[in-house]
Structure 1
Amino acid sequence: MSEVMNLYQERLNRIFKTLRLEQADRVPVLGTYGTWSSYFAGYTDAETNWDTDKCGKALMKVADELPVDMIHMIYNRPGGVYQALGSSAFHYLSDSNIVQYSDESAQIMKDDEYPEFTKDPFRFLVEKVLPRKYAELAKDSPMRDLAFAKGAMKFGMYGGQKGAIEGSLAAQYGMPLLFDGIILHPMDWIADFFRGIKGVFGDIRRRPAEFAEAIQAFTPLVIRLGMGQVHMGPPKPNPKVLLFPLHLPTMLKVADFDKYYWPSFKMIMEFFAAHNVYVIPFYEGDWSRYYNHLQELPAKKTGGWFEHGDPKEIKDKLKDTMCVIGLFPATLLQYGTKEECIAKAKELLDNLAPGGGYIFGTDKELLAPADGKAENIIAVNEFVMEYGIYK
């Protein structure tokens, strides 16, 4: 086996040992650099959305110049697909350099349509949601069929380009990618794409029973879409991994979280754990009031990417349940000195690294060029790799 592939396997082993709550040789470093990577490579976000080759070159630069054990994902969006379908939601189709998504564009499902949605979520998605979100799919045939075929062709090309990037990262730099796909909770999906956040909070009050039934009906489809991504790529020696961004829980009252969010969240997590798929939620906001809930998740079968929280409390509450990822403040990478950044990294490692079960990373994905200075990122990551060695 070549030196590069040995490095690739070494990094994979380090990450997956840690995910299993075993103690690896040292604390792994996860590169959570999204569209920030475009700017690091001298591109704009818009350029890498339209030209996936440029996205690949940006990730190669990250793999070559930044000390990391793994990159979290290929970060760009397929601009050509959205253009072919007539999307108006993603603003990078204009001259904007930063991807923007309009919540108003999500308000396309009426509040009295929940019964129809619940009866057959997939049919409702295809026949109602997609034509409302994508202008070309609302046209009569053959224009609609041509737009769909064009969008499908561009999406297939995009998938092939992503696969080529993943292969090049492995073959040239021994750099693995962590996530094989992404899923959303039914409640987040409805809020993000169907009803808007305001609409969902109104529905909780005005149509609680219909809203709860819709989430229950939508959950199996979310699982199917996740498993589709698991089976889409080539087999791997390690389990497949899905990213699970969570948007609404920290905005909810605990009673509403227990009623609308937790049952399907737990069902999704248990399903994938039973099928040897690691799901890593991004616990956006402060989840401290839900730590007792998280203790009920399948032990050693998941990870948690945390944005906020007391590292000592997180370690105490969740050390036997899940691998902890993140918590390093991205703002410090931009505005702090190297010394301040290293001091914070040391604090996190002192609290989270003992015994294993901690992957070093930022508290959120780096997006804008001002989200982190490269010199601080390099200094911090090098420190973690030296200080985080297990004796």
Structure 2
Amino acid sequence: MSEVMNTYQERLDRVFKTLRLEQADRVPVLGTYGTWGAYYGGYTDSETNWDMDKCGKAMLKMANDIPMDMLHQPFARPGGVYQALGSKAFHYLSDSNIVQYSDESAQIMKDDEYPEFSKDPFRFLVEKVLPRKYAELAKDSPMRDLAFAKGAMKFGMFGAQKGAIKGSLAAQGMPVLFDGIILHPMDWIADFFRGIKGVFGDIRRRPAELSEAIQAFTPLVIRLGMGQVHMAPPSPNPKALLLPLHLPTMLKVADFDKYYWPSFKMIMEFFAAHNVYVIPFYEGDWSRFYNHLQELPAKKTMGWFEHGDPKEMKQKLQDTMCIIGLFPATLLQYGTKEECIAKAKELLDNLAPGGGYIFGTDKELIAPQDAKAENVIAVNKFVMEYGIYK
């Protein structure tokens, strides 16, 4: 085995050994660098969305310049697909800005359409949601059919290009964690069908219909996740899906128990049973729900956390899941190297003992000013040196 492949395998083993709550040789470092990576590579977000070669070059530059064990995922969005389908949701404020999503465009499902949605979520998506979200799909045939075919072709090309980027990274010893992304059914309904305000209104006015819709949508979400796993290039590496969680910290505990937790637990248990790691991004402060999280399949997930007391989190979750995150991205932006390193030391002292901790930022880096590269490099070097298990 070549030196590069040895490095690749060592990094991969270090991350997944830690994910299984085993103690590796040192604390792994996950590069949670999203569209910030485009700017680090000398491009804009819009450039990398339209030219995947530029996305690949930016990721390779990060892999070469920044000490880490793994990148979390390619950061580009399929601009060609949005254009082909006539997206009403994704747009740019300027040519050099980050792609924006309009919540108003999510309010496309009427409140009296829940029964129709619950009866057949997939049919409703195809026949109602897509034509409302994408102007070209609302046209009559053959224009609609041509737009769909063009969008499918563009999406296939986008997937192939992402696969090529992951291959190029692997060729220089850098693994990529995620094979795809899924959303919780309630988040999906809020983000793309009803809007956040619409869903909170539905909790009050149509609680039974909302609950039924979430239950009906859950199997389709699972199918979409497994589809991405199966489409990933053949590899002996473990498969992993990202699951961003948006609504829970806005919900009352009673509403979380009713609408969110049953489907979330079902999704996590299904993928754990199929040896797929689903890694939620726990946005906000989840301390109210630590007791819930203790019910998830042990050693089968990793919690990417934005906020929380490291000591409490370690105490409550160390037997259930690997912890990642908590390092404040704002400190990488505004702090000195010394301040950044001091914070990293604090997190390692509280979270690293015994294993089960992967170093990462509290959120994905997005804008060019989200972090100073010199701070990122200094902190990662420190973690690799200080985080060695004796």
What TM-score, normalized by structure 1, do the two folds share?
0.99
Aligned to 1:168: 168
Q: Is the 2:44–2:96 Cα contact (8 Å) retained in structure 1?
A: no
The Cα of 1:290 is off from its aligned counterpart by: 0.2
Aligned counterparts, 1:363-374, within 5 A = 363-374=362-373
Q: Name the SS for the 1:304 alignment partner.
A: strand
Aligned AA (1:2): S
Q: Which secondary structure does the structure 2 equivalent of 1:145 belong to?
A: helix
1:4 matched to which residue of 2?
A: 4
Q: Deviations over 1:151-195 (max 9, x none)?
A: 011111111111111000011x20000000000000000000000
Structure 2: how far apart are the matches of 1:123 and 1:322? 36
Question: Which residue is 1:28 aligned to?
Answer: 28
| CA–CA separation in structure 2 for the residues paired with 1:8 and 1:59 | 16
Counterpart amino acid of residue 38 in structure 2: S
Contact 1:32 1:361 in 2 (8 A): yes
**1:132 is paired with a residue of what secondary structure?**
helix
Letter in 2 for 1:347: E
Q: CA deviation at 1:92?
A: 2.9
Alpha-carbon separation, structure 1, partners of 2:191 and 2:15: 31
Q: Quick one: distance in 1 between partners of 2:96 and 2:335?
A: 28
Any conservation in 2 of the 1:83–1:93 contact (CA below 8 Å)? no
The separation in 1 between residues aligned to 2:200 and 2:88, in whole angstroms, is 24
Residue number in structure 1 paired with 2:325: 326
TM-score, normalising length: structure 2: 0.99
Query: Using the alignment, how far apart are the partners of 1:78 and 1:94 within structure 2?
Result: 17
Alignment map for 1:7-18 (pairs within 5 Å): 7-18=7-18
User: Match for residue 242 of structure 2?
Assistant: 243
Task: Please show how residues 101-250 of structure 1 align to structure 2 within 5 Å.
Answer: 101-171=101-171, 173-250=172-249
Q: Hey, what's the Cα distance between the residues in 2 that align with 1:136 and 1:142?
A: 11
Q: Give me the whole-angstrom Cα distance separating, in 2, the residues matched to 1:120 and 1:92.
A: 34
CA deviation string 1:221-247 (max 9, x = no partner): 000000000100123223200000000
SS at match of 2:8: helix
| Aligned residue in 2 for 1:74 | 74
* Partner Cα separation in structure 2 for residue 223 and residue 355 of structure 1: 33
Residue 58 of structure 2 corresponds to residue 58 of structure 1: yes
State whether residues 84 and 147 of structure 2, in contact with CA within 8 Å, keep that contact through their aligned partners in structure 1: yes
Q: Structure 2: how far apart are the matches of 1:351 and 1:73?
A: 27
**Superposed CA offset, 1:81-121 (max 9, x none):** 00000002111396351111000000000000000000000
Q: Give, in whole Å, the separation in 1 of the partners of 2:204 and 2:61.
A: 49
One-letter amino acid of the counterpart of residue 141, structure 1: S
Distance 2:229 2:372 in 1: 34
Residue aligning to 2:260: 261
Tell me which residue corresponds to 2:86. 86
Q: Unpaired runs of 5+ in structure 1?
A: none
Unaligned runs of 5+ in 2: none
User: Is 1:337 the counterpart of 2:306 in the alignment?
Assistant: no
Report SS of the residue matched to 2:88: coil
Shift of 1:365: 0.2
Extract structure 1 runs of 4+ deviating beyond 4 A: none
Backbone CA RMSD of aligned residues: 0.8
SS at match of 1:244: strand
Q: Percent identity over the alignment? A: 88
Q: Residues of 2 paired with 1:331 and 1:71: CA distance?
A: 20
Separation of aligned partners in 1, 2:387 and 2:125: 47
- Structure 2 CA distance for aligned equivalents of residues 75 and 287 of structure 1: 26
Q: For 1:240, give the aligned amino acid.
A: K
Matched AA of 1:268: I
Q: Secondary structure at the match of 2:314?
A: helix
Q: Distance between the aligned counterparts of 2:194 and 2:66, measured in 1?
A: 40
Opposite residue 285 of structure 1, the aligned amino acid is G
**In 1, Cα distance between the equivalents of 2:234 and 2:324?**
25
Q: Distance in 1 between matches of 2:80 and 2:3?
A: 38
What does residue 312 of structure 1 align with? 311
* Cα distance in structure 1, aligned partners of 2:98 and 2:13: 35
Q: Is the 8 A contact 1:85 1:135 kept in 2?
A: yes
Instruction: State the alpha-carbon separation in 1 of the partners of residues 160 and 114 from structure 2.
Output: 37
CA distance in 2, matches of 1:270, 1:156: 30
Classify the secondary structure of the residue corresponding to 1:125: helix
Kindly state the Cα deviation for residue 317 of structure 1 after the two structures are TM-superposed: 0.2
Aligned mates of 1:16, 1:182 — CA distance in 2: 18
Preserved CA contact (<8 Å) 2:85 2:147: yes
Distance of 2:118 and 2:90 partners within structure 1 = 27
